[in-house]
Amino acid sequence: VHFLFSFRAMASLSEEVLLVVKKVRQRKQDGTLYLMAERIAWGPEGKDRFTVSHLYADIRCQKISPDGKAKVQLQLVLHSGESTTFHFANESTALKDREAAKELLQQLLPKFKKKANKELEEKNRMLQEDPVLFQLYKDLVVSQVISAEEFWANRLGGVTNTDPAQYKYKQEVGISGAFLADIRPQTDGCNGLRYNLTADIIESIFRTYPAVKQKYNENVPHNLTEKEFWTRFFQSHYFHRDRINTGTQDIFSECAKQDEKGLKSMVVQGVKNPLVDLLSLEDKTLDEGYGVCGAQPSTSNSNRTVKESSNYAIIKRFNHHSAMVLAAGSRKGETSSTDGNSRDSDFFQPPVKKVKLQEEYEDLQQENRPKTVPLNLKKSDRYAHGPVPLQSQQYTTSQDIINSVNYIQHEMANYKPNLTQVLSSTVATSAISALSPGGVLMQAGAQQAINQMVPSEVQGELKHLYVAAGELLRHFWSCFPVNTPFLEEKVIKMKSNLERFQLTKLRPFQEKIQRQYLSTNLTGHLEEMLQTAYNKFHIWQTRRMMRKT
């Protein structure tokens, strides 16, 4: 149902409309869904405007309602976390409509996903993760005090400089070992099985079994629909590991073979750690035929029963599965973490083996490592069992309370002041007066009451101003010492930024608090900071002029 025509209603800019689906409900309102070249839009019936419009680049993913549900729906999840649900209400063709929309979106979304710049995502993520940064961004960039580039140049650079590992290689999320267990089929009551597949599980399957991914890429959507593909996957003996491969018509039989090959090559490669290499563990000098059980029974595959070989297949598959999950978890390129002991070249004996051989009894030797503070547990039982709800016996009994009151009374009765050590009465009086409200030492007390004097909304604003000013000043001060032309340029720009900030942000704020008859003293410190910066700038500028002349 692919239409290709121009939509006149969108008068201002004519866009190419790829698909129009009528009778689509959104928020219980009937309307029409339009899929255009760059966005998806929905307009209520009889109106000439769109009430819903999303750029494809904003859409993170689409979800569809399971087959068999009464309502045929399609949900769009945006990067911002919001979602929009469309209900296909045309009774006769609802499913077909939905499929058409889904298929088209499926083709369109990846294109736009690639467009969405990686860096942008990163910035977006940072803003989302850090509310303070987000506010700052709003204050400085949105209000055009500084440009976005300036904002990020410093930010991204600073972050990567301080802790490059954390951001450059963000730890990849591994795969659950039991992801196949999570799709345990549920019977739907009428002799069918239902598998719940989520994007995460599909991703896990692809990462663990690259062969399946390859099959998917080869077959979907040219030969099979996605649904057919997964249905076949679950039916294949590939998925059911205990079944021995017999048929060849199955598209997954090749996968099994590839896995087999992969497993074999892993085995042939051998292990890097000589201490776990069972092949070279023994100084084997018994030849074949010697020894009590020289002729090992049942090792040869020929005389295994069907059940035995199916059991063996399960075991092999489990080893393979675990190895693949493990490999998918560790980053690509970085092979097994333990060591790099290559077995074929014995010219190169890495120290790892030596170290492993020299493993000693560390407790027999003097400790050299820095002393750590041990956890001092008064009640190790409580630690071991975790927090336990307070129990009645842990309350002090009334007798205890009476006893302690008596004890304190007794203490007080016998209290004898040590009078030789106290201050003279005059000194004491002055100390008390100094510490009383209004006293010398309590001057700061008046200002501390700001949270009572100023409405919280002004306080919040002030806080934002401080953060923004701090950020700008940080930029400014980081230019000193100014020793490159780039920094020169920057410092001048920063100064003008500061001035702009003062003009567009600080002044209005000051005026506002004046209107509210609040003490203008509130912004005094901010002004002071700015003034210091200006002074510094002037000193620098005059010096520069002098040097030039």
- Please identify which residue in the block is written with the tokens 């942000």: 505
- By CB under 8 A, is residue 319 in contact with another protein? yes
Q: How far is the CB of 284 from another protein (least distance, A)?
A: 6
User: Exactly one of 267, 401, 435, 441 binds another protein (CB under 8 A); which one?
Assistant: 267
Spatial separation of the C-alpha atoms in residues 14 and 17, rounded to whole Å: 9
Q: How far is the CB of 347 from another protein (least distance, A)?
A: 8
- By CB under 8 A, is residue 201 in contact with another protein? no
**245 membership: H or E segment, kind and range:** none
Near another protein by CB under 8 A, which window of 9-17, 35-43, 204-212, 323-331? 323-331
Q: How far is the CB of 229 from another protein (least distance, A)?
A: 23
- Please identify which residue in the block is written with the tokens 């409580």: 382
User: Exactly one of 199, 292, 390, 545 binds another protein (CB under 8 A); which one?
Assistant: 292
User: Exactly one of 20, 77, 127, 180 binds another protein (CB under 8 A); which one?
Assistant: 180
- By CB under 8 A, is residue 383 in contact with another protein? yes
- At 370, list the tokens: 């820095």
- By CB under 8 A, is residue 282 in contact with another protein? yes
- Please identify which residue in the block is written with the tokens 């020289």: 294
Q: How far is the CB of 129 from another protein (least distance, A)?
A: 24
User: Exactly one of 272, 475, 490, 495 binds another protein (CB under 8 A); which one?
Assistant: 272
Q: How many residues bind another protein (CB under 8 A)?
A: 87
Q: How far is the CB of 300 from another protein (least distance, A)?
A: 9
Which residue's CB is nearer to another protein, number 290 or number 415?
290
- At 502, list the tokens: 């003062």
Within its chain, how far is the Cα of 89 from the centroid? 37
Taking CA 308 as the corner, what is the angle to CA 303 and CA 309, rounded to the nearest 5 degrees? 80
x/- mask, another protein, residues 331-370, rule CB under 8 A, reads -----xxx-----x-x--x----x--xxxxxxxxxxx---
Residues 6+ apart with CB under 8 A from 531: none
Near another protein by CB under 8 A, which window of 161-169, 206-214, 308-316, 484-492? 308-316
User: Exactly one of 46, 190, 248, 290 binds another protein (CB under 8 A); which one?
Assistant: 290
Spatial separation of the C-alpha atoms in residues 505 and 138, rounded to whole Å: 12
Spatial separation of the C-alpha atoms in residues 78 and 399, rounded to whole Å: 64
- By CB under 8 A, is residue 295 in contact with another protein? yes
Which residues in the 433-472 window bind another protein by CB under 8 A?
Answer: none
Which residues in the 245-264 window bind another protein by CB under 8 A?
Answer: 263
User: Exactly one of 23, 155, 215, 241 binds another protein (CB under 8 A); which one?
Assistant: 241
Residues 6+ apart with CB under 8 A from 518: 453, 454, 458
Taking CA 397 as the corner, what is the angle to CA 392 and CA 401, rounded to the nearest 5 degrees? 140
- By CB under 8 A, is residue 5 in contact with another protein? no
- By CB under 8 A, is residue 268 in contact with another protein? yes
Q: How far is the CB of 292 from another protein (least distance, A)?
A: 5
**CA distances (Å), 169 to each of 164, 165, 266, 356, 460, in order?**
8, 6, 27, 30, 36
- By CB under 8 A, is residue 330 in contact with another protein? yes
Q: How far is the CB of 277 from another protein (least distance, A)?
A: 5
Nearest to 180 by CA among 227, 235, 220, 234: 234
Residues 6+ apart with CB under 8 A from 512: 458
Cβ atoms within 10 Å, residue 339? 15
Tell me if 230 sits within 8 A of 195, measured CB to CB: yes
